[in-house]
Chain A
Amino acid sequence: MATKQSKGKTGITRPRNLATLLSIILPGLGQLYNRRFLKGILIFLVSVSFLVTTWNYIDIGIWGLFTLGTIPRDHHSIQLLIQGIISLIVIAFGIAIYVYNIRDARKDAKAREDNKPNPTLLQGMTSFYDNGFPYFMILPGLLLLLFIVVVPLVFMLALAFTDYNQYNAPPRNLLNWVGFNNFKDLINVGIWKDTFLSVFSWTIVWTVVATTLQIALGLFLALLVNDKRIKFKRTIRTVLILPWAVPAFVSILIFSALFNPTFGAINRDLLSQFELMIPWLSDPFWAKIALIMIQTWLGFPFVFALFTGVLQSVPQDMYEAADVDGGTRFQKLRFITMPHLLFATAPLLIMQYAGNFNNFNIIYLFNGGDPAVRGQNAGGTDILISWVYKLTFETNNYNMAAAITIIMGLIISVFAFFQFRKTASFKEEGRY
């Protein structure tokens, strides 16, 4: 600031401050002061039309967001809530235009202070295109993302703090904000507490065991196929990848039939040889065992293919060097192969864990989360996400479903955090 103060003016009379202030008071005014008439008028028109078209919507939206409606049957709390969330996004866009207008006015005023001539219309448009280019590229995707992904998630977030359930549902009733009551119920009320604890612990066991098994099997097979003494590598690889190639929902439904206690081939054709009858679908323990086995079957080929690809890129001279030093096979695996594999695939492996944490398809298609458990409102094999599905679409306990969704979201964020740390993508940001 202390450097070159043009024409000796300071404070509010200085052009750059004046232009900023004028644009704060009225969008476009600062530009007019800068004698950028066309731009000033355009910004003014855009701002006015933005306000005129969105004012009513935002007004009701924000009011609805706070009150969730005041007259039952007349006001629909859910629609008001969504309108409120969309209004917040619209306001964010409005603020973006407003801030752009202020910064633009200040920038132009600075240029004028330095006695740079005003750019011609063409120059102005070119620089607008240049600076705005990344935003234009992002805009279509961003809009889709906002409405398809962000608004629904924020909506779920909001539902967790309301009393929306099957007995209290619009349009007959109005919803209310209830603070953290749903979370308190989840910890304090008997049936919710019991169900939550058992579903939560099974979800963790499921995620860890099923994913680790599929990674371990994939890794083991990749190492075996990579062995120099093995022939027919291509054929073996193709067969091993087959479970990944068949659509998962088809395989799961086939398994569901295979494990069926009355007509499924596993009991009827295989286990009957040993005079065994295992209640695969009706006993929670055996259903869980079956699920973990099926997921291992479904999930190992991806890991296998991944590791196979990376294995081929491990530099051979490292092994030769190890041979010279008399390294054992285990040492080579431990100190050369594994670090290589894990370094290259860690983010994808973390995603495998996250994927199983959210693996709704297998739970739902295999057995619908059944068998039912006494004293709980989730089935014996339900994981958090399939429980949320049941609460939402079967028993309409929207508020509790949303509360559980938030807890899931927090856990998923932990996965994302680790993935973020493992991703080189962010380490290279320095190049800008």
Chain B
Amino acid sequence: MAMSRKKKSKIEVAFIYLFFLIMFVIIGYPLFWALMMSLNPGSNMLVTDLFPSAPTMEHYKWLFTDPKSDYLIWYRNSLYVAIVNAVGSVVITSLIAYAFSRYKFVGRKYGLYMFLLLQMFPALMGMVALYILLNTVGLTDSLFGLMVIYLGGQIPFNAWLVKGYFDTIPKELDEAAKIDGAGHLKIFWTIMLPLAKPILAVVALFNFMAPFMDFLLPRIVLTSPENYTLALGLYNFINDQFSTNFTRFAAGSILIAIPIALVFLLLQRYLISGLTSGATKG
């Protein structure tokens, strides 16, 4: 009896590993395929091979050296938007979250309801008005306009997240500091911020990555190629003539997917713990 149970367990484990193997193939195949496409010469997708007989780096070279390529400009644009977005969102949301977590004021409760509701509405819903608003203040086709939209749009979700995290920091800490004569800002700066580092890192990371991942907003706001972000620029490689530039698109994509994936894999533990503690425990 004991023997057969052990055997049964072994078979079970084997099946589990087999299932993982199938998942690995399903996960890996599209990514590997894209990598191989980027090494295929030329741009005719009909003659591409999963294992090209003569792998080439020509597409990568083109991205960096061809005078017609704006790839580096897009990289710079995306970095610029991403950094400002990460820093700005941390500042704005931590201020809001501090007020909502530690103070009682008129409109506090409805403000929380509002955040919860608004964070579900995608930015796309208000796109027409956003475009008209940007137009009236002359911020269309500008990275600054894009940044302002990102900064405003991230508030409901992140403020709620950070507020939830602040709530888990014992109130006795700031009361003790208050007795010692610390002011509002000092408590915020010396107690709340250092203790909330994990969630602030999550907010910063999410908002840093957003400009690399989002193509819709740039597509509506930005019009001239020298202002494009990476996502938009890459999308336009294949937008017009799909089959003709996919190899180049693959090369450009891999160059952004690798650093982002690395950062993500390194930090995912913090992302998850930040999300669960911020969003559920409150």
By a beta-carbon cutoff of 8 Å, the part of chain A in contact with chain B is 78-79, 82, 129-130, 133-135, 137-138, 140-142, 144-145, 147-153, 155-156, 159, 221, 224, 227, 229-230, 236, 238-251, 253-255, 257-258, 260, 262-263, 265, 269, 297, 305-306, 308-310, 344-348, 351, 354, 358, 360-361, 364-365, 385, 388-389, 392-393, 398, 401, 405, 408-409, 412-413, 415-416, 419-420, 423-426, 428-429, 431-432
- 4 closest A-B pairs by CB: A152-B126, A148-B152, A425-B282, A155-B129
Contact B113 A420 (CB under 8 A): yes
Contact B16 A423 (CB under 8 A): no
If A424-B280, A425-B160, A426-B282 are given as contacts, then 5 extra A-B residue pairs at C-beta distance below 8 Å, sorted by A number, are A134-B108, A145-B156, A149-B156, A254-B30, A365-B235
Contact B50 A269 (CB under 8 A): yes
Within B22-39, the residues touching A (CB, 8 Å) are 23-24, 26-28, 30-31, 33-34, 37
A309 and chain B: residue at smallest CB distance = B272
Q: A297-B26, A408-B125, A425-B164 are in contact. Are A241 and B268 (CB under 8 A)?
A: yes
A221 and chain B: residue at smallest CB distance = B23
B103 and chain A: residue at smallest CB distance = A134
Contact A409 B121 (CB under 8 A): yes
Contact A265 B124 (CB under 8 A): no
B137 and chain A: residue at smallest CB distance = A147
Contact B20 A224 (CB under 8 A): yes
Question: How many residues of B are counted as interface, with CB atoms below 8 angstroms from the partner's CB atoms?
Answer: 102
Return B282 CB to nearest CB of chain A, in Å.
3
Contacts of A260 in B (CB 8 A): 45, 242-243
Contact B33 A416 (CB under 8 A): no
Determine if B265 is an interface residue (Cβ-Cβ < 8 Å).
yes
Contacts of A408 in B (CB 8 A): 125
Contacts of B104 in A (CB 8 A): 432
- Pick 12 A–B contacts, CB within 8 A, sort by A: A133-B99, A134-B99, A137-B96, A145-B152, A147-B133, A147-B152, A153-B125, A250-B34, A262-B46, A351-B279, A413-B117, A413-B120
Contact A263 B129 (CB under 8 A): no
Return A34 CB to nearest CB of chain B, in Å.
22
Interface centre among B23, B256, B273 (most CB of A within 10 A): B23
Contact B121 A385 (CB under 8 A): no
Instruction: Kindly state the separation between the CA atoms of A420 and B117 in the bound complex, as whole angstroms.
Output: 9
Q: A242-B31, A412-B120, A425-B164 are in contact. Are A156 and B24 (CB under 8 A)?
A: no
Return B177 CB to nearest CB of chain A, in Å.
15
Contact segment of B53-61, B67-75, B193-201, B212-220: B212-220
Q: A297-B26, A344-B280 are in contact. Are A149 and B216 (CB under 8 A)?
A: no
A247 and chain B: residue at smallest CB distance = B213
Instruction: Kindly state the separation between the CA atoms of A419 and B100 in the bound complex, as whole angstroms.
Output: 19
Q: A230-B13, A245-B260 are in contact. Are A239 and B27 (CB under 8 A)?
A: yes
Q: A144-B148, A144-B151 are in contact. Are A297 and B120 (CB under 8 A)?
A: no
Contact B109 A429 (CB under 8 A): yes
By a beta-carbon cutoff of 8 Å, the part of chain B in contact with chain A is 9, 12-13, 16-17, 19-20, 23-24, 26-28, 30-31, 33-34, 37, 45-46, 48, 50, 92-93, 95-96, 98-100, 103-105, 108-109, 111-113, 116-118, 120-130, 132-133, 136, 148-149, 151-153, 155-156, 159-160, 163-164, 167, 171, 184, 209, 212-216, 220, 231, 234-235, 238, 242-243, 246, 249-250, 253, 256-257, 260-262, 264-265, 268-269, 271-273, 275-276, 279-282
Contact B24 A389 (CB under 8 A): no
Contact A385 B280 (CB under 8 A): no
Contacts of B103 in A (CB 8 A): 133-134, 137
Contacts of B280 in A (CB 8 A): 344-348, 423-424
Instruction: Kindly state the separation between the CA atoms of A105 and B111 in the bound complex, as whole angstroms.
Output: 27
Q: A246-B260, A263-B243, A360-B216 are in contact. Are A255 and B155 (CB under 8 A)?
A: no
Q: A82-B129, A423-B280 are in contact. Are A148 and B45 (CB under 8 A)?
A: no
> Which of B98, B108, B127, B260 contacts A152, CB < 8 Å?
B127
> Which of A149, A249, A262 contacts B231, CB < 8 Å?
A249
Instruction: Kindly state the separation between the CA atoms of A419 and B120 in the bound complex, as whole angstroms.
Output: 10
Contact B132 A82 (CB under 8 A): yes
B230 and chain A: residue at smallest CB distance = A247
Q: A141-B159, A148-B130, A247-B257 are in contact. Are A257 and B164 (CB under 8 A)?
A: no
Contact A254 B34 (CB under 8 A): yes
Q: A245-B268, A409-B125 are in contact. Are A145 and B155 (CB under 8 A)?
A: yes
Q: A79-B136, A148-B149 are in contact. Are A153 and B27 (CB under 8 A)?
A: no
> Which of B125, B148, B167, B249 contacts A253, CB < 8 Å?
B249
Contact A149 B152 (CB under 8 A): yes
Contact A240 B27 (CB under 8 A): yes
Instruction: Kindly state the separation between the CA atoms of A424 and B118 in the bound complex, as whole angstroms.
Output: 19
Contacts of A398 in B (CB 8 A): 128
Contacts of B272 in A (CB 8 A): 305-306, 308-309
Q: A265-B33, A348-B280 are in contact. Are A138 and B216 (CB under 8 A)?
A: no
Instruction: Kindly state the separation between the CA atoms of A262 and B45 in the bound complex, as whole angstroms.
Output: 9
Contacts of A364 in B (CB 8 A): 216
Return A387 CB to nearest CB of chain B, in Å.
11
Return B106 CB to nearest CB of chain A, in Å.
9
> Which of B155, B156, B215, B273 contacts A309, CB < 8 Å?
B273
Q: A141-B96, A148-B153, A258-B33 are in contact. Are A358 and B27 (CB under 8 A)?
A: no
Contact A242 B148 (CB under 8 A): no
Contacts of B120 in A (CB 8 A): 351, 354, 358, 412-413, 415-416, 419
Return A371 CB to nearest CB of chain B, in Å.
15
Q: A358-B122, A425-B167 are in contact. Are A348 and B130 (CB under 8 A)?
A: no
Contact B126 A138 (CB under 8 A): no
Contact B216 A263 (CB under 8 A): no
Contacts of A344 in B (CB 8 A): 276, 280
Q: A156-B129, A249-B235, A420-B113 are in contact. Are A348 and B279 (CB under 8 A)?
A: yes
Contacts of B257 in A (CB 8 A): 246-247, 250
Contacts of A250 in B (CB 8 A): 34, 234, 253, 256-257
Instruction: Kindly state the separation between the CA atoms of A313 and B127 in the bound complex, as whole angstroms.
Output: 42
A359 and chain B: residue at smallest CB distance = B122
Contacts of A229 in B (CB 8 A): 9, 12-13, 16
